[in-house]
Amino acid sequence: MDIVYAAEKPSIARLLSEHVRRRVRPEDIKVSENPDETGSFYIGFNLDMFVLSPNGEIESDRLQLVK
């Protein structure tokens, strides 16, 4: 498990690269704090939005249809 202590774009880009399984450069992402959860960040990449939780997990920040 990777734990990210601060919004360091190179570290976040590396974690996002692992999540999307392709290279993500730090300059390709926009990072902002998530006011709903301390230590959590929103990550904008291309047209998608992700959430990085304090424990280092990255999830898509969009609704998904569950059947």
Domain residue extents for the chain: 9-60
Write out the H or E segment, with its range, that includes residue 18.
helix 9-20
pTM: 0.74
Question: Residue 65: CB partners within 8 Å, gap ≥ 6?
Answer: none
Residue 54 confidence (pLDDT): 84
Percent of the chain with pLDDT over 90: 39
Q: Determine the 3-state secondary structure of 55 from DSSP.
A: coil
4 has pLDDT over 70: no
Give me the torsion for CA of 59, 61, 65, 67, rounded to 10°.
30
Residue 55 confidence (pLDDT): 84
